[in-house]
Amino acid sequence: MAHKKIQSALISVYYKDGLEPIIRELHQHGVTLYSTGGTQQFIEELGIPVIPVEDLTFYPSILDGRVKTLHPKIFGGILARREEKHQAQLAQYEIPEIDLVIVDLYPFEETVASTSDEKTIIEKIDIGGISLIRAAAKNYQDVAIVASRNDYPFFLELIQSKQGSTALEDRKELARRGFLVSSHYDTAIFNYFNRGVQEPLFKHSLIQHETLRYGENPHQKAVFHGDLEQLFEKLGGKAISFNNMVDIDAAVALMREFLNDDPTFAILKHTNACGVATRPTVLEAWQAALQADNVSAFGGILISNTKIDLATAQAVDEIFYEVLLAPDFDPAAAELLVKKKNRILLKIKHFDVQARNFRSLLNGVIEQDTDLAIEAESDFKVVSKKAPTNAEIKDMIFANKCVKHLKSNAIALAKNAQLIGMGCGQTSRVDSMRHAIEKANRFGLDINGAVMASDAFFPFSDSVQLAHEAGVTAVVQPGGSIRDQDSVDYADAHGLAMVMTGVRHFKH
């Protein structure tokens, strides 16, 4: 494919880092440079000739820099097709052709992240830059566009290898990258203005990505769109897989509920917690969490709400796990744990959970508010004749946090701030109840005096009856069934305490 030599370039960028080698390469090939403001000064300080845009437009930068390049003599030189009719008009109005545009955009997203001052944010909405990108990308048949400093290395290698020229396929690829930049930028601006409005449309743009080893199964390909480095510092271990990512998401969401509690440790398998415990020390929390199900813990996801010390690391290191997450690690603990190369070690930077979540479904996407509700004692409505004791209330709060993060139909049994049994993902709630009891018994955990939490109402009193017969003394549930009274009556007849929260935590 024939190459087109770059003879003129407009360069106007916010970020100058990485620009110098490109400017020197263009100068070496005799390219005429046009520029504005700070970029013009940057080029001049390199000792390279540059023509101010004002010399073309005969207008200075006006309105506090809001208008610099928005002029027919700039956009005419970019948008003109290299054909007789357009060439004649360029000659008539003394408009020079522009073969290359290097421009970036004001840092809108970074500004939104760093300040809430609307005036400052609005001033970072780029007008000239976005227009230059779109114009040059539209005319890729004749014009090359470099729309981001991330593309500087690609473009530099291109003009070095092709002696200051570009091929049509190069310009089309640069146009594609340019429209990627502009579409992402516009989406970020729209989402800023759309905050709180929740217009029923789906607009998200995630540029950063990480290719995963494979998807849910080896024959499936997978990519994570997002920036893991914002959330975690990876201290060691193999590449994160699709299933790891899903489990990590579930683990962070669960542990977020316990951020303000004493040391808490959780073990998850296939997004469900099989062990959770709160204790005076992180080591004791680990031991109690493992006690609940030391079989499922094998190959699980481990997470703590506090720093991992050496003693805990030594205990954890005795079993095989996939991922261990914590807000921090003692140096000696980290040194020990990173020795196992197949075990992923993540330091959590923050436990933020997105306010909205979505997933692909049928031929579209379903989006909803994230379930961020969690009930405190003040949300408990005692519906039984017997009121729960203070100890039972504490365990009900604990169990309710756990059951919220189990797949429905979900049941959690807890005693002394320890998850001692759980049932989830069953087709009936009574099956989940049987499973929770069976697990507690299988691992030798005493259900007498335990509490039960349910993620949704009881359609019949059978689950409450099973719980009572196993030794449960208090129940927390959302209520909402037309037969709620059946469960309340059973509780009253057998001396159980029961509270309702009015909030369902059903999780498909």
Tokens of 435: 């499973």
Q: How far is CA 474 from the centre of its chain?
A: 38
- Tens of pLDDT, residue by residue over 210-266, are 888 889 999 999 999 988 888 999 999 998 999 999 999 999 999 999 999 999 999
CA distance 441 to 73: 82
CA distance 394 to 416: 8
Question: Residue 65: what pLDDT?
Answer: 67
Question: Residue 154: what pLDDT?
Answer: 94
10-residue averages of pLDDT along the chain (508 residues): 85 90 94 90 93 78 69 82 82 85 90 90 88 93 94 94 92 95 91 81 82 90 90 93 94 95 97 97 98 94 97 96 97 95 94 86 88 93 97 97 96 98 94 96 96 95 96 96 94 97 92
- Tens of pLDDT, residue by residue over 332-341, are 999 999 999 9
Neighbours of 49 (CB within 10 A): 9
Question: Residue 390: what pLDDT?
Answer: 97
Question: Residue 437: what pLDDT?
Answer: 97
CA distance 42 to 209: 33
Question: Residue 127: what pLDDT?
Answer: 87
Q: Which residues pair with 277 in a beta bridge?
A: 265, 418
Task: Please identify which residue in the block is written with the tokens 């929740």.
Answer: 198
C-alpha R_g of the chain: 31
CA distance 399 to 414: 6
Contact (Cβ atoms closer than 8 angstroms) between residue 466 and residue 433: yes
Q: With 0-12 CB in 10 A as exposed, 13-18 as middle and 19+ as buried, what is 486?
A: middle
Contact (Cβ atoms closer than 8 angstroms) between residue 400 and residue 476: yes
Question: Residue 447: what pLDDT?
Answer: 97
CA distance 500 to 486: 14
Contact (Cβ atoms closer than 8 angstroms) between residue 418 and residue 276: yes
Please state the φ and ψ torsions of residue 429, each to the nearest 5 degrees. -70, -35
DSSP, res 151: G
Q: Please tell me the total number of residues recorded for the chain in this structure.
A: 508
Q: In what order do the strands lie in the sheet with 300-304?
A: 232-236, 344-348, 321-326, 300-304, 264-269, 272-278
SS (H, E, C) 54-96: HHHHCCCCECCCCECCCCHHHHHHHHCCCCHHHHHHHHHCCCC
End-to-end Cα separation, the chain, in angstroms:
54
Question: Residue 210: what pLDDT?
Answer: 85
Catalytically active residues are 138, 270
Angle between helices 72-79 and 128-138 (to 10 degrees): 30
Pairing assessment for the beta strands 100-103 and 144-146 based on DSSP bridges: parallel
Please state the pTM of the whole predicted model: 0.84
What single letter denotes the amino acid at residue 96? P
Tokens of 225: 């769109």
Q: Can you list the positions of beta strands (E) in 337-400?
A: 344-348, 356-361, 364-369, 381-382
Question: Residue 202: what pLDDT?
Answer: 81
